[in-house]
Structure 1
Amino acid sequence: MRKPFQAFRELMRIGFGAAPRHATLQFLTGIVFEVSVPIGGLGAKTIVDAAVSGDLRLGLGAAVLLAVTVGAALTSVFYYVHCLFTVQERASAVAGKRLMRLIGGAEGLTHHENPEYLDQVQRIREQQGQLSGMVNATAGVLRVGATLAVTAVLLARVDPLLLCLPVLAGVSFWLGKLSRDLAVRAQEATSERERLRAHLFELGTSTAASGELRVYGLTGLLGERHRQVSGSVIGQRNRASWRGAVLQAVDALVTAVGYIAAITLVMVLAVRGSATAGDVVLVLGLAAQLSSTVGTAVRYGTYFLVVLRVGGRLVWLQEYVAGERRSPAVPVAVPATLSSGIELQDVHFGYPGAKDGRGVLAGVNLHLPPGAVVALVGDNGAGKTTLIKLLCGFYRPDSGRILVDGVDLADHDTAQWRSRCSAAFQDYARLELPVLETVGVGDLPRIGDRAAVGAAVERADASGVVAGLPQGLDTRLGTRWDDGVELSGGQWQRLALGRGLMRTEPLIAVFDEPTAALDAHTENALFERFAAAARAGRGRSTVTLLVSHRFSTVGMADLIIVLDDGVIREQGSHRELMSRGGLYAELFELQSRGYR
């Protein structure tokens, strides 16, 4: 019971935390509205009995009761609807913010290789709207409970056998739960295929892939694959819906039989003189209303369970992210500057779930001196980017250690360490924001500092890009917006490079093929600027890491690391490595021939 209660508590916190006054009023007005129906039936019974007995005073009193009940019901329903939408709207915003923090806030990247995590996130995304519904679901269940309680008391006064009618609500609820469980199981069974369907749709409609789709004629193939996967998902979910419809038909039949039995019983009692004409009217009204109440009970009861299940996934996600949190309880402070540098000692690493079981890095031993410009070279898959991800704290080694001035990187707070890193990656993000923010987010405290952003743009040699935009740094990027401007791939990359240069005193600066969309001459010029800036500021002790497949641009580095199949084959300066005639010299010579 701990997990469901935890899920219920978290979702109620979202609802009441977003709109406490409206959530409370939703509970109160909902109960008043629902209870007014059976009380109104009691008023109608009293009026009929008063008319039959000729008791005018009783009849007028009952009429006043009925009028007050109707007035309270009408007033309550308007407030209820207002509170319902207010709570839903505000809770949706809070739930969305919570999800963004959880999904985007995990310290590492391991979860992106975890199929269970991806399936859970897909299910949450499909039912994200339900996260704001626990207040509504709980209010509905309480409304139904109050109605059934008052109805049961009134029916029992006529004849205890009539209590079988509210009992049928339990049968209907059970059948409704079975129907909903079928739908949920179908959704869970198709989560991975639904992710594939979404991926195929995104691929077939994305701007980035449009060129290749047309050149290779892939639109038809992707459309057919999408149709097949969609058919599989929809088919399995439809079969569950049909089975659920059968259960709902059985529910309707049970409810109808109960209604007929109740009417028959009260008519027999009235004929025998054991019930009044008002009792007949009361039972007729309550029985008819009970059918609607049972339907409401099933709807809100199953809705409550659905929301609770989605809440359980939210709790799972929270616990998963908390389990991924790797910062120590009492972290060691990150040094202001590096004195001895960064050292990797016998580092082994393999990505989680790798089907071949092979590690990407195997026994890497490396010393990165403070203030050095270090180049990582090697073929695709050699482990260059993986090594950088470990240094940025995205992953932890399977074994071995990464030491920062002699202190294990795992002993530092991950967020604090990353605040002292700067990076520009080949797979950069296209942030469709004003240029000032697109670049400025590279150093959040200075996101609106026009001088700092301008300096970063200058260091990235992107001043020409900004100067050519209609509003300079204030230009909104992305053609999806009315005032947005689209950039070329190279222009986007220059701004991403500027973002990576916003922090002026990082301990480690990573440039992982950040100029892949630029020509070799431009890349070489930029890398020369990076290296010159790094050497000019050696006092900051920043370790600058350059990754490039173009050997002509890495010769300027102080230290060149040659990676091959996850191990370091060679290291040294360009001159030293060329004189040895090893792998670096071989690769350099092979690439040089292409330029002759």
Structure 2
Amino acid sequence: MRRTLRAYRELMRIGFGAAPWHAAAQFLTGIVFEVSVPVGGLGAKMIVDAAVSGDTEQGMAAAVLLALTVGAALACVFFYVHCLFTVQERATAAAGRRLMRLIGGAEGLAHHEYPEYLDQVQRVREHQAQLSGMVNATAGVLRVGATLIVSAVLLARVDPLLLCLPVLAAVSFWLGKISRDLTVRAQEATSEPERLRRHLFELGTSTAAAGELRVFGVTALLGERHRRAAAAVISERNRASWRGAALQALDALVTALGYVAAIVLSIWLAVHGHATAGDVVLVLGLAAQLSATVGTAVRYGTYFLLVLRVGRRFVWLRDYVAAERRTPAEPAALPDTLRTGIDLEDVRFGYPGGGGVLDGVSLHLPPGAVVALVGENGAGKTTLIKLLAGFHRPDAGRILVDGADLAGCDTADWRSRTAATFQDHARLEFPVLESVGVGDLPRAGDRAAVTEALERADAAGVVAGLPDGLDTALGGRWDGGVELSGGQWQRLALGRGLMRQAPLLAVFDEPTAALDAHTEHALFERFAAAARDGRERGTVTLLVSHRFSTVATADLIVVLDGGRIREQGSHRELMARGGLYAELFELQSRGYR
């Protein structure tokens, strides 16, 4: 219940926060419009009774009441629609921003490996539009409630038995809720197959995968798997839809019987002198209106519950992200420059369901040193990088930065002292100035800083060949946008990783995989030279590469094997030792002879 109330408050905050005056006006005008219908029925009753009794004064009063009611209804309905669309539009944008911050704002990356988290995200994404719908849902419920209350008062004046008509709304609402629950359960049960279907669709229509799909002829295979996944989803959801349709048919039958019974009762009362002709008109009008109100009640009631369910998932995601925030209340201070370096003490880590990846890693990264991580695929190099960058926390052991435990430091502060370029870098389809400049947000618009970073990444030639230089829009999908080659994108990513000044840790995780061996070697030599020139800052420069000849100039080479450190030392020391590094170096060297 507490989470439900929190979800309601959060979703209402989204709507009222986006358009407070329009949301309040939507409530008011919606109630006035709905109440005008039964009040109009009262006016019709008064006119009929006045005509039968010949009471001109009552007839004129009823006419004035009807005129005011119709005028108010017309004025309110147009303003209500305007408010509804305004609130919906602004709240949708606000909800989208919140969802982006929520999903993208988690400190680490561990949640992307948990199926439960992925399923919850998938469910929220499927119903993302509902995150902005709580104001509309609440307004609809209030409208229905106002109509039922006023109608019940008017019907009770004719005969208390007619109060059974509003009660039928509760039965219809119950049947509608069961129908909606069937649909929601089917959607939840098919969350993972739906994720698979979307993945297959994105893979089959992705330009990045188009070449491989055609070369290997797997387009048809993907299409068949997409068909099977879609069939499983559609079959389960169709069964729920048919059951819901049966319940809706039962609802229609119950409502029709109640309508007929109300008419028969009102006629019987009039025939036996217990009601007037105007009462019969009133009951006819209210019964017909209640049929529509019942439908509205079911629609808005079930919609309200759906929005609330999505809101609970939204709150679950927010709680999950909040629980994942690891910054302590009083974080340890990070140094401006490294004095003793970075130390890993018996660090152990494993991914969910995948066993251990790092097994008791102890390592000293000296300040100002250029350190190379080498090893075969799966040795744990990238995982070690993720731990150092704060994307994951060790399952056991500690990472110390000048003696301060990284787990006790502010994660955002540590990230601001870290520069990185990854092999799976982002292709930011912005103008070049922004695509590179966001590597150091305070200087994102500094043309001189961006130009300097591009020169250090040996990417100035990429920009020189673009039509508008730093102002060139990137991405062939956009009007006037320019598409780049894989190597050009990678050079810009390198420039982005070199934007920050004097970081404590600079990581280059196979950032030149799309470049040839000679270019990579030249770039790494430049990185190493720049790192040594600035040793007074104490920056630890961490290089990861599969090309052993490239990392030979590093101050320290760490050889990982099976999640453990097998060897460490300089290139000369490791070659003299004749161990795994020397063996792998020799094997790779033969390929270039």
Q: TM-score, normalised by structure 2?
A: 1.00
Residue 385 (1) aligns with residue 382 (2): yes
Q: 1-side partners of 2:432 and 2:386: how far apart?
A: 27
Identical-pair percentage: 81
Q: 1-side partners of 2:589 and 2:132: how far apart?
A: 61
The answer to whether the 8 Å contact 2:8/2:308 transfers is: yes
Q: Could you say what the CA RMSD is over the residues aligned between the two structures, in angstroms?
A: 0.5
The answer to whether the 8 Å contact 1:92/1:129 transfers is: yes
SS at match of 2:12: helix
Aligned match of 2:113: 113
Q: Structure 1 residue aligned with 2:473, among 469, 473, 476?
A: 476
State the shift of 1:91 in Å: 0.6
Q: 1-side partners of 2:472 and 2:4: how far apart?
A: 48
Deviation readout 1:269-314 (Å, 9 max, x if unpaired)? 1111111000010000000010000000000000000000000000
Residue 440 (1) aligns with residue 437 (2): yes
Q: 2-side partners of 1:3 and 1:525: how far apart?
A: 57
Paired AA for residue 255 in structure 2: T
State the shift of 1:332 in Å: 1.1
Q: Which residues of 2 match residues 25-174 of structure 1 at below 5 A?
A: 25-174=25-174
* Unaligned stretches of 5+ residues in structure 1: none
Deviation readout 1:433-469 (Å, 9 max, x if unpaired)? 0000100010011111100000000000000100000
Residue 514 (1) aligns with residue 541 (2): no
Q: 2-side partners of 1:352 and 1:333: how far apart?
A: 31
Aligned match of 1:562: 559
The answer to whether the 8 Å contact 2:6/2:315 transfers is: yes
Residue 492 (1) aligns with residue 494 (2): no
Aligned match of 1:248: 248
State the shift of 1:3 in Å: 1.4
Q: 2-side partners of 1:95 and 1:431: how far apart?
A: 23
Aligned match of 1:184: 184
Residue 501 (1) aligns with residue 492 (2): no
Q: Which residues of 2 match residues 43-442 of structure 1 at below 5 A?
A: 43-354=43-354, 358-442=355-439
The answer to whether the 8 Å contact 1:559/1:572 transfers is: yes
The answer to whether the 8 Å contact 2:334/2:404 transfers is: no
The answer to whether the 8 Å contact 1:372/1:559 transfers is: yes
SS at match of 1:334: coil
State the shift of 1:353 in Å: 2.9
Deviation readout 1:316-370 (Å, 9 max, x if unpaired)? 000000010001111012110000000000001101232xxx2100111100000
Aligned match of 2:568: 571
The answer to whether the 8 Å contact 1:384/1:563 transfers is: yes
The answer to whether the 8 Å contact 1:113/1:353 transfers is: no
Q: 2-side partners of 1:174 and 1:468: how far apart?
A: 66
Q: 2-side partners of 1:470 and 1:123: how far apart?
A: 43
Q: 1-side partners of 2:465 and 2:333: how far apart?
A: 43
State the shift of 1:547 in Å: 0.4
Deviation readout 1:131-163 (Å, 9 max, x if unpaired)? 000000000000000000000000000000000
Q: 1-side partners of 2:131 and 2:176: how far apart?
A: 21
Paired AA for residue 56 in structure 2: L
Deviation readout 1:114-137 (Å, 9 max, x if unpaired)? 000000000000000000000000
Q: 2-side partners of 1:30 and 1:341: how far apart?
A: 65
State the shift of 1:20 in Å: 0.6
Q: 2-side partners of 1:549 and 1:317: how far apart?
A: 38
The answer to whether the 8 Å contact 1:507/1:541 transfers is: yes
Q: TM-score, normalised by structure 1?
A: 0.99
Q: 1-side partners of 2:200 and 2:424: how far apart?
A: 20
SS at match of 1:555: helix
The answer to whether the 8 Å contact 2:197/2:229 transfers is: yes
Deviation readout 1:460-517 (Å, 9 max, x if unpaired)? 0000100000101000111110110000000000000100000021000000000000
Paired AA for residue 240 in structure 2: A
Deviation readout 1:407-450 (Å, 9 max, x if unpaired)? 10011100000000000000000111000010001001111110
The answer to whether the 8 Å contact 1:557/1:573 transfers is: yes
The answer to whether the 8 Å contact 2:10/2:311 transfers is: yes
Q: 2-side partners of 1:285 and 1:580: how far apart?
A: 97
State the shift of 1:27 in Å: 0.3
SS at match of 2:337: coil
Q: 2-side partners of 1:29 and 1:559: how far apart?
A: 72
Q: 2-side partners of 1:382 and 1:210: how far apart?
A: 30
* Unaligned stretches of 5+ residues in structure 2: none
Deviation readout 1:222-258 (Å, 9 max, x if unpaired)? 0111011001101110110000000000000000000
State the shift of 1:4 in Å: 1.0
